[in-house]
Structure 1
Amino acid sequence: MINSNDLKSFLTTATRLHLTKAAKELGLSQPALSHCIKRLELEVGEELFLRRKDGLILTKAGEYLLLKGQKICDDLDGVSEFLKTGRTGSRQTLTLGIHPSVAAYSLPQIVKELKNIELNFRFGLSREVTSLIQEGKVDCGIVINPYPHSNLIINQIDQDRVTLWCHKKMSNTDKLFFDPQLHQTHSILRQLEKKGIQFEHQYAISNLELIAKFVYEGTGVGILPEKVVKNYYPDLTKIYSSDIKPFQDQICFVYSLENKGLESLGQLKIAIKKVLL
């Protein structure tokens, strides 16, 4: 679905036919405006501008969209307003992107804190959630260690630590369980390799809850975030070693610059802080 903010950015740019002037009028950085236009071009499947040294030229598709764009924009705004406020004018709906493991220890409490806001969810790795926000497919996300981007607003909410865990009654010390999809995992693995610490058996499992279960059953050692451990099996024990430093996670609330003034995002941010801090 076409993002109405992207369409508005296009209309201003199509009128000015100059990226810098349009960006200044819209209050956006030039890279942010370029990103909006590129996203719109991907959505409609057509190139809208031809770039020239002295400015921009509309393509045939761009000319047609300029002709029809304002009506489309008005229609999209009407649909968006309906979805946000609902029939009673009091309901607001947001789509939140989040990693399933983060969702497990935070979402039930977050939802309890919200008043007059409904949430839809998209689950994935933090880097996938960041991409969904940039593409306008979700409104916001709880993201671990997000990369800065000119089109994103990043608010750090909390911290976590990823390290080695075991059970007090662990029966096997030669087995290591980890999630290979997480950057934090590879930081710990590199430290283990550098220090010559080896496990005879290594199990790559893309599910933190299952890794925690293996560790809880005394099957071996696991690389896990502390918040996941405390949510499922608080009796597990950190393996302290001066040789292995925990990976410090930054837990952030992320949304696009275009949604900066959305009141419901502010309410959601307050609820997330209350639950995580």
Structure 2
Amino acid sequence: MSLMMDDIKYFVTVCETLNITRASEIIGISQPALSYSIKRLENELGGNLLIRLKNGIQLTKLGEEFKQRSRRLLYEWEQAQNLANPESGLIQGSYTIAVHPSVALYTLGAFMPSLQSDFAGLDFNFIHGLSREMTEKVISWEADFGIVVNPIKHPDLVIHKLCTDEVTIFHTKNAQDKLIYDQNLAQSQYILKKISKRTSFSGVLSSGNLEVVAKLTSLGFGYGLLPTRVAAQYKQLEKLKEAPVFKDEICLVYRPEKHNNTVSKKIIQTIKSSSF
């Protein structure tokens, strides 16, 4: 890398840690050297990238914008370095897959065995969170692929439907009169609006993890708002009759410009052709 490319790489590490001390340890250079590197970038760009705080740093508006562009620039640079022998470079590389944790439980097993067999030299990194957050990871170049629920159309993304699911209310026999759900999910809000006029519960149990919601529901602590594929892990759960249903689409999302190489295309085809 040239001196400027090193500066950009260092800046990205600072963005990931939001701490100059930690970033310098990861990179393996002194704090003054790292600070001088950032200053070189700021001089080139004509503005401040960082705001120094007592307990770390915060990116400026310019810093936020440059962070996104830096990720893309570094990716394109890596691609350019592999032009002479793209296959060998990519097969020894790594891919990051952003996936909702509940979706990961029933999708990764469908295609990871094939990928492990076909590309033994590849490393795979999984990051988890809400589907809208995972989609943003793909848009911002932080993840190569996303497997997400109901992605919103975006001009930079290819969206391919993999399978469907349904979110509704599940319960066990003699379940307590409580409602158990994840307040952060749009599906939960939709179902709550549908049932509010005809059904009332004595209380609420809330969790940001659908596996926890499913477990509590299976123990009879209440009525759980769950995707059918998640509820299927517990045989004692049954759907509440005439409960409202929210239909989900589970999709593969990716930036097409990142995947013009043979390996990426094979990975995409493997995921698309898997049975979920």
Matched, 1:216 2:248: no
In structure 2, what is the equivalent of residue 261 of structure 1?
A: 260
Percentage identity across aligned positions? 31
- The residue type equivalent to 1:143 in the other structure is V
Q: Encode CA deviations 1:188-219: one digit per residue, 9 max, x unaligned.
A: 011111x3311111111111111111111112
* TM-align CA RMSD: 3.0
Q: Encode CA deviations 1:213-258: one digit per residue, 9 max, x unaligned.
A: 111111211000011112x2134111121xx431000111000132
In structure 1, what is the equivalent of residue 228 of structure 2?
A: 226
Equivalent pairs, count = 206
The unaligned stretches of length 5 or more in structure 1 are: 8-43, 49-70
Q: In 2 relative to 1, CA 90–225 (structure 1 residues): closer, same or farther, beyond 3 Å?
A: same
Q: Residue 196 of structure 1 aligns to a residue in which SS?
A: coil
In structure 1, what is the equivalent of residue 180 of structure 2?
A: 177
In structure 2, what is the equivalent of residue 148 of structure 1?
A: 153
1:185-196 equivalent positions in 2, closer than 5 A: 185-193=188-196, 195-196=197-198
Q: In 2 relative to 1, CA 47–228 (structure 1 residues): closer, same or farther, beyond 3 Å?
A: farther
Q: Residue 197 of structure 1 aligns to a residue in which SS?
A: coil
- Please give the TM-score of this superposition, normalised by the length of structure 2: 0.66
Q: Residue 252 of structure 2 aligns to a residue in which SS?
A: strand
Match 2:138 to one of 133, 138, 151: 133
Asked if 2 retains the 8 angstrom alpha-carbon contact of 1:158 and 1:251, the reply is yes
- The residue type equivalent to 1:221 in the other structure is Y
In structure 1, what is the equivalent of residue 166 of structure 2?
A: 161
CA distance in 2 between counterparts of 1:72 and 1:148 reads: 26
The structure 1 segments of at least 4 consecutive aligned residues displaced by more than 6 Å after TM superposition are 71-74
Asked if 2 retains the 8 angstrom alpha-carbon contact of 1:179 and 1:208, the reply is yes
Matched, 1:118 2:119: no
In structure 1, what is the equivalent of residue 67 of structure 2?
A: none
Matched, 1:237 2:242: no
Q: Encode CA deviations 1:147-188: one digit per residue, 9 max, x unaligned.
A: 001111101111000000011x3341x111001111111100
- The residue type equivalent to 2:198 in the other structure is G
Q: In 2 relative to 1, CA 271–247 (structure 1 residues): closer, same or farther, beyond 3 Å?
A: same
CA distance in 2 between counterparts of 1:74 and 1:237 reads: 50
Asked if 2 retains the 8 angstrom alpha-carbon contact of 1:209 and 1:228, the reply is yes
In structure 2, what is the equivalent of residue 96 of structure 1?
A: 97
- The residue type equivalent to 2:194 in the other structure is Q
